[in-house]
């Protein structure tokens, strides 16, 4: 509301005595003020009040080492290799579609709202959904996830198309 007040003052100062223009600005400001509550009544109050950190998450570039995790589908089965690894805060993990794709990486059961928001923000590309990477279609196609600003903890993930074949893993951030 403060913004609209300032905008109106600015309009009045610039437009001076031009009554018609001033009225148009007033109508426009009124429409803008009314729009959010009319279109998104449920979403407006909750995020700001309960999850300020989550709503503010932005992609955080990695500042440490990059660890490789191969995505494999062959005669031995479907797996991430290594299936579990421990990294430091600020490191990144590069998933590589080695064989048997398409594969993806989908993190599951991330219950902490801030962790979920940061991890999701750190996952680039046209994702399949929240915490779900795009499908890696090409051989040797990489997908890099930064764990910068992701809180310490263990993050479990699956490959969505091969979940039934037990293609899963975990990353522990120290």
Q: Which of 105, 145, 167, 173 lies at the binding interface for Cu ion (CB under 5 A)?
A: 167
Options 96-104, 105-113, 135-143, 150-158: segment touching Cu ion (CB under 5 A): 96-104
- Rg over CA atoms, the chain: 23
- Rule CB under 5 A: say whether 159 interacts with Cu ion: yes
- Rule CB under 5 A: say whether 79 interacts with Cu ion: no
Overall residue count recorded for the chain in this entry: 174
Catalytic option among 18, 67, 103, 137: 103
- Rule CB under 5 A: say whether 93 interacts with Cu ion: no
Give the residue with the Cβ less far from Cu ion, 116 or 162. Answer: 162
| CB 156 to Cu ion: min, Å | 15
Of 46, 7, 14, which is closest to residue 30 (Cα–Cα)? 7
Binding residues for Cu ion (CB under 5 A): 103, 159, 162, 167
């Amino acid at each position: 509301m403060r913004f609209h007040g300032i905008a109106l003052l600015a309009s009045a100062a610039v437009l001076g005595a031009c009554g018609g223009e001033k009225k148009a600005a007033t109508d426009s400001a009124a429409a803008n003020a009314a729009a959010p509550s009319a279109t998104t009544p449920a979403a407006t109050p909750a995020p700001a009040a309960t999850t300020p950190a989550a709503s503010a998450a932005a992609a955080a570039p990695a500042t440490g080492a990059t660890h490789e995790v191969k995505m494999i589908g062959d005669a031995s089965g479907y797996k991430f290799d290594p299936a579990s690894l421990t990294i430091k805060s600020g490191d990144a993990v590069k998933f590589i579609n080695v064989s048997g794709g398409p594969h993806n990486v989908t993190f599951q059961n991330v219950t902490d709202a801030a962790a979920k928001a940061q991890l999701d923000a750190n996952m680039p590309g046209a994702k399949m959904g929240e915490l779900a990477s795009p499908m890696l279609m090409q051989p040797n196609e990489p997908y890099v996830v930064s764990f910068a600003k992701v809180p310490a903890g263990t993050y479990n993930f699956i490959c969505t198309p091969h979940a039934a074949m037990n293609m899963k893993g975990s990353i522990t951030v120290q």
